[in-house]
Amino acid sequence: MAKQKKYIFVTGGVLSSIGKGITAASLGMLLEQRGIKVTMVKMDPYLNLDPGTMSPFQHGEVFVLDDGTETDLDLGHYQRFTQHAKFNKKNSFTAGRVYEAVLKRERAGGYLGKTVQVIPHVTDQIKDNIKAAVEDADLAIIEVGGTVGDIEGLPFFEAIRQMKHQEGAENVLFAHLTLLPYIATAGELKTKPTQHSVKELREIGIQPDVLICRTDRVIEKDVKEKIGLFCNLPADCVFSARDAESIYDVPLFFAEEGLDDRIAEKLGIWTGRPDLSKWKAMVDVIHHPKKEVKIGIVGKYVDWKDSYKSISESLVHGGVANSARVVPVYIDSEELEKGNLSKLEDVNGILVPGGFGERGIEGKIKAIEYARTEKLPFFGICLGMQLAVIEFARNVAGLDHANSAEFKPGNDQNVIDLMDSQKEVKDLGGTMRLGAYNCLVTHKHNGKNTNAFGAYGKEKISERHRHRFEVSNKFRPRLEESGLVVSGKNVDAEKGVELVEMVELADHPWFLGCQFHPELMSRPLDPHPLFVQFIKASLDSGKKQTRLKGIS
């Protein structure tokens, strides 16, 4: 007989961006550390099939999984906080995906002529999607996007209400995250937003089992008792989600209050105490670093930090591995285009992340030229690598008009171009290289280890991609003759295709560009080696490096 699975549904009220993703990820971390096989799911109520075509200003970064699925950035939090959970396309779905599946089934006659309705057909599809995602796990933590009361979210709330009835109350837990603001003039926490949020949830048939209140302080016992009284649950089921200096503090805060204990008790899960020693040691380094390093992140979405969420977190991970605090300095590439490079003079390393579109490109190229000529550690990711190739082609290899087919189609010196097989594809979505691809790492160049091999320590790796254009093999011989080192490549022997994956410079302290997205693989307890080495090089550069006061 199959083992009964357990489900935790994380919902939110009052306002968006309240922290459901970090809350869900923290619960995943704590329960996984108890030895439970955990998976996590994100359900988004918007009608897009996925966030792949959405602007970073709308939804932050797009997080890509091994199988090429483009997901919400919360999947990044889930991956960073858990160590063993594996994610694929089943772990993220939108209302668009749900309705698409229902309509395809209806067109194929799958409903046998019945009238297709939200209940039961849409809600059944949502439940099917949830169950399909948790096949290999003992416990699933499912985050419901949006806030309670949103009209587009109602089918999701109805579906999870039904699941508690169908799976058994002892197997389903509702954790509701809500706002508990402190009003300074009144000198007290106000519980009314939480009361109204729970009231709205109960009106659609869901009684939360635990309340997690977003606040800037620990909630005192009398406040918990008041919330419990008006929200129809015991005071010991009310917990604080207090503001944290680092997101990696959050699971430790929850553990201090016993949130994971209460959840395990309510779901009838008997486990030992979680071993949080490694996590605590990591957080201790974040709060008490021995060094500090400034990294310039040159991009065009710098006013919306969620656009670079995985990169900023990967820099934190790389800093922890070097006992250092990384101070990100976001630099608008459009400002660099105007010729003011002063902000570049105050950083220890330069990172140019990925992106799409021509806006701000020449500013990024100026930053790369600065890093190359000033011998400042440089890390280019995806588009950042492509622009490093363009800069090198223009200023070193003598290709004065070097560019990318993305920006200058038809240009005769496009060192970045579509592969021949891609040029015949009319649907641009079909030209994307998405998900995990293998890469062969060049061990040595002129008798010395490449920076790539120095980071990975092995010659075969796998990394996640999200891009359309490649380094043109037509110009590769000239670039290599001029000193560009190809230190990573993807080889498809069957198709006879070899693609550039990593480039670097031999006469530079640390200069590396990669076509893939290493930030999608980094975890705080397992930092990505390229970020570790980039931060180490930036610390070693000695350029305006500062030691923290009082730390030897």
277 and 312 housed in the same domain: no
33 and 172 fall within a common domain: yes
Q: How far apart are CA 95 and CA 463, in angstroms?
A: 29
Is the domain of 13 the same as that of 154? yes
Q: Tell me the CATH number at 149.
A: 3.40.50.300
Q: Is residue 52 part of a domain?
A: no
Specify the amino acid at residue 10.
V
Which residues span the domain enclosing 492? 289-540
Q: Measure the CA–CA gap between 511 and 534, rounded to whole angstroms.
A: 9
| Cα–Cα distances in angstroms (integers) from residue 335 to residues 329, 340, 356, 381, in the given order | 14, 7, 18, 20
| 42 occurs within a structural domain | no
Q: Would 549 be classed as within a structural domain? A: no
Locate all alpha helices (DSSP H) within 360-439, ordered by sequence.
361-373, 383-395, 420-423
Are 208 and 154 within one domain?
yes
| Helix, strand and coil in the chain, % to nearest 5 | 40, 25, 35
Q: What is the reported pLDDT for 56?
A: 67
Other C-beta atoms closer than 10 Å to the C-beta of 398 total: 10
Q: Tell me the longest C-alpha to C-alpha distance in the chain.
A: 76
354 in any annotated domain: yes
**Same domain flag for 303 and 431:** yes
Q: Are residues 270 and 295 in the same domain?
A: no
pLDDT of residue 427: 46
Check residue 158 and give its pLDDT: 97
Q: Are residues 463 and 323 in the same domain?
A: yes
Last residue of a domain, one of 227, 253, 281: 281
Residues 227, 193 share a domain: yes
**End-of-domain residue from the set 252, 281, 310:** 281
324, 533 Cβ separation under 8 angstroms: no
pLDDT tens for the chain, 552 residues: list them.
467 899 999 999 988 889 999 999 999 999 999 999 999 999 999 999 888 777 666 667 899 999 999 998 999 999 999 999 999 999 999 999 999 999 999 999 999 989 999 999 999 999 999 999 998 899 999 999 999 989 999 999 999 999 999 999 999 999 999 999 999 998 899 999 999 999 999 999 999 999 999 999 889 999 999 999 999 999 999 999 999 999 999 999 999 999 999 999 999 998 888 899 999 999 999 999 999 999 999 987 666 667 889 999 999 999 999 999 999 999 999 999 988 899 999 999 999 998 877 788 999 999 999 999 999 999 999 999 999 999 999 999 999 999 999 999 999 999 999 976 555 544 444 568 899 999 999 999 999 999 999 999 999 999 999 999 999 999 999 999 999 999 999 998 677 789 999 999 999 999 999 999 999 999 999 999 999 999 999 999 864 444 443 343
Residue 538 DSSP one-character state: H
- The residues annotated with a catalytic role in the active site are 382, 517, 519
Question: Is residue 89 a part of any domain in this protein?
Answer: no
Q: Does 54 reside within a domain?
A: no
- Two structure tokens written together for 450: 């490449």
- Element containing residue 299 per DSSP (H, E): strand 291-299
Q: What is the 3-state secondary structure (H, E, C) of 18-81?
A: CCHHHHHHHHHHHHHCCCCCEEEEEEECCCCCCHHHCCHHHHCCCEECCCCCEECCHHHHHHHH
**CATH code of the domain containing 491:** 3.40.50.880
Domain shared by 338 and 262, yes or no: no
Do 396 and 482 meet the contact criterion of CB atoms below 8 Å apart? yes
pLDDT for the residue 76 = 96
Within 8 A by CB and 6+ apart from 117, the residues are: none
- The H-or-E segment that residue 224 falls in is helix 221-231
Residue 260 and residue 363 in one domain: no
**In-domain check, residue 1:** no
pLDDT at 544: 44
Q: How many separate domains does the chain show?
A: 2
| Domain identity same for 210 and 298 | no
Nearest residue to 321 via CA among 80, 542, 535, 514? 535
Does one domain contain both 256 and 308? Answer: no
Whether 21 is in a domain gets the answer yes
How many CB atoms lie under 10 A from the CB of residue 547? 10
pTM above 0.75, yes or no: yes
Q: Which of 236, 257, 281 is the last residue of a domain?
A: 281
